[in-house]
Structure 1
Amino acid sequence: MSGLLLAVRTGFGFLSTIPVGITMEGLDELVKRSYLFVFTGIVLGLLIGMFTGIVEYVFPANISAALVIVFIYYLTGLNHLDGLADFGDGCTAHGSLEKKIKALKDMSLGIGGVAYCVIGLILLYASISSLQQQIYITGTISSLPQWTLLPLSLLVAEIGAKQGMLTIAAFGKSIHEGLGSMVIDKTDVGKYLAGLAMGGVVSVLSLGLIGLIGFVAAILGAFGVLNVSNRHFGGVNGDCIGTANEIARLTSLIAITLALIAINAGYGGLSWMLL
C-alpha cells in the first residue's frame, strides 16, 4: 500500500471508530500528511449529514437533534471529548504551571473535566436545535432545498473541527512528547494551508458564504483554545488538539445559526449577501 493510501486509511482509524486499523507506520504516514485530517472530516461530515437527513425526516426536531449528537460520537469516538475533559481538569486546577500540566495529563476525571464536557454537550444540543429552528424560518438558501441545510451545516462544522485540530498543531508548541507532539512537529504552514484550501472550498461549495462563515468561525474557535492552552499550560498537547476539535465544531454551528438569524431578521446588505 502506498504511503498516501496508508495515511488516508489511518486517518479514519485515528479520527473515527471505523474499524480500518492503526499501525505506527500508518501514523507516521498520516502525520507527514496531516492536511488529510480535513479530508477525513469531509467524509465523516458527509456521513453525519446523511444520517441527519434521515432522522430529520423520521423524528421530531428535538429527538433528531439528540440522535445526531449520538451519531457524531458513535462515528468519531470519544477521544476528543476525553481531551476536552482533560483540558477542563487542567484549566480549573489551582497552582503552578506544573500542577496544571499534571492535572491535564492525569488519567482520572475531575469536576472541571465533567463540567467542561457537560457544558459542551449542552451547547452542542442547543446549537443544533437552534439551527433547526432558524432553518425552518429561513426556507431555502441559494436554491438549496430546506431539508439539505442542516446536513450541510453539520458537514461544514465537521470540516471546521478538523481544520481546528490543524490550527492547534500548526501554531502550537508541544509541552511533552506523545502522539500529539508527533502531529504538532510535522504540521507546518504548508500542510496547514493545504487543509485550509481543501476545507474552505468544500465549505463554500456546500453553503456558499454561510459555509465560509462557519469554516472561519471554527478556526477562530481553535485559536481561542490555543490562547487558553498557552496561558494555562505554556503550550499544547494531544488533549488540546482534541479540545479544538470539539470547540471548533461548536463555534461553527453557532456561527451558521447566527448567520441564519441575520437572514431572518433582514439585516440589510448582510442578509442579501448571505442569500
Structure 2
Amino acid sequence: MILSVSKDLKERIKTQLNLFYLALSFFTRLPVPKTMHYSESLLNKANRYFSLVGLVTGLLLALSYVIFSEFLPANISVLLMMAISLLLTGAFHEDGLADMADGIGGGYTVEKRLLIMKDSRIGTYGAVTLVVALLLKFSLLVELAEQDSNYLLLAIILAECLSRAIAGSLISSLPYVTDIEQSKSKPLAQAQSSSELSLLLLIGIAPLAFYSSEIIFSLFIILLAFRWLFKRWLMARIGGFTGDCLGAAQQICELLIYLTLVSHINNDTFAELTFTELTFIGPLLTGVAG
C-alpha cells in the first residue's frame, strides 16, 4: 500500500516537472532534460507554470545585475542585464510586441492584421514600438537602480513573474484566432482550466508579499484596468488573441509594473520583509554570485 502511494506520488511529481520543463523550453533558451515529453494537450496544461518561468528568469536577471554592478556603473549594468534577458528568452516577448504593433497598426481588416502578424519581417509600427518600449524599460530600471539596488532586484523578480501571470491569464477569457498550421511561431496554449489559472496567478502575485499595501493596491488597479481594456481592444481588432498578443501583453505589463514602482519611490512606500530587512536581497545574490 505504502509503495503504491509512493509510486503514485513520484509519477505526479514527474508529470508536474515535465509541465514546468515544457513551459521553460517554450519561453526561454534554458536547457531542459531530453526526457521531456511534448504534446499540444501538455502545452495547454503547462500554462499553469508560465509565471514560475518568470520567477526563474527574474532571479537569473537579478543575479546577473549583481555580478555586473560589482565592476560597472548602474546604467551599463542595466543595459547588459537587458541583453541577458533577450538572450534568455530569444526576444520571444519583444518579437510578439513588434508583430502585434505591425499587424494591428498596419492592417485594416481582421484577416490582414493576422496575416501581417505572421510575417517574420518587422515594419515601421513594430520597430518604433519596440524601440520606445526598450528605451522606456532601460530608463525605468536605471531610475530604480539609482534609488536603491535592492528596489531594482525585487522589481525585476516581481515584473518578470507577475507580467507573465497577467498575460497568461488572457488564455482563459479570449478565443484563440490564429491557425497553428499557418503561423510562423510555435504552437501556443489555447485552453486554461480554473485550477491552472489559479496556480498561475498565485505564483505571479507571490513577490507582492515584499511590498506595502499601497503599492499592491496600485498595481492591482492598474493591471486589472489594463487587462480589461486590452481584452476589449483585442476583441474589437482581431476577435481574440494570438501568441504575439500574449507576448505584447507581457511586455506592456512589465512596463506598467516598473512605472508604478518608480512613481512610488519618493513616497517611501516600499515595505520591509516580515522576517528581516529588504537589504538582505543584494548581499544574498552577491553571495550566490561569489
Q: TM > 0.5 between the two?
A: yes
Partners of 1:32 and 1:237 in 2: CA distance: 18
Three-state SS of the structure 2 residue aligned to 1:34 is helix
Which residue of structure 2 aligns with residue 160 of structure 1?
Answer: 162
Change (3 A) 1:81 1:131: same
Cα deviation, 1:85-136, whole Å, max 9, x if unaligned, reads: 1101112114222222222222222111111111111111111122223x24
Change (3 A) 1:151 1:232: same
User: What fraction of aligned residue pairs are identical, expressed as a percent?
Assistant: 22
Mapping for residues 36-51 of structure 1, pairs under 5 Å: 36-51=49-64
Q: Tell me if 1:81 matches 2:83.
A: no
Match of 1:123 among 136, 151, 155: 136
Which residue of structure 1 aligns with residue 264 of structure 2?
Answer: 259
* 1:237 Cα offset (Å): 0.6
* 1:55 Cα offset (Å): 1.9
Partners of 1:225 and 1:58 in 2: CA distance: 41
* 1:206 Cα offset (Å): 3.5
Change (3 A) 1:194 1:89: same
The answer to whether the 8 A contact 1:167-1:223 is kept is no
Which residue of structure 2 aligns with residue 212 of structure 1?
Answer: 216
Which residue of structure 2 aligns with residue 175 of structure 1?
Answer: 177
Change (3 A) 1:34 1:47: same
Stretches of structure 1 that go unaligned for 5 or more consecutive residues are 137-146, 264-270
Change (3 A) 1:232 1:193: same
Q: Tell me if 1:9 matches 2:21.
A: yes
Higher helix share: 1
Partners of 1:245 and 1:253 in 2: CA distance: 12
TM (norm. structure 2) is 0.77
Three-state SS of the structure 1 residue aligned to 2:47 is coil
Which residue of structure 1 aligns with residue 287 of structure 2?
Answer: none
Over alpha carbons, which structure has the higher Rg?
A: 2
Moved more, 19-28 or 63-72: 19-28
Mapping for residues 196-207 of structure 1, pairs under 5 Å: 196-200=201-205, 202-207=206-211
Match of 1:29 among 28, 37, 42: 42
* 1:74 Cα offset (Å): 1.4
Which residue of structure 1 aligns with residue 114 of structure 2?
Answer: 101
Q: Tell me if 1:52 matches 2:65.
A: yes
Partners of 2:254 and 2:58 in 1: CA distance: 11
Change (3 A) 1:226 1:45: same
Q: Tell me if 1:244 matches 2:246.
A: no
Cα deviation, 1:62-103, whole Å, max 9, x if unaligned, reads: 111211211111112212111111101112114222222222
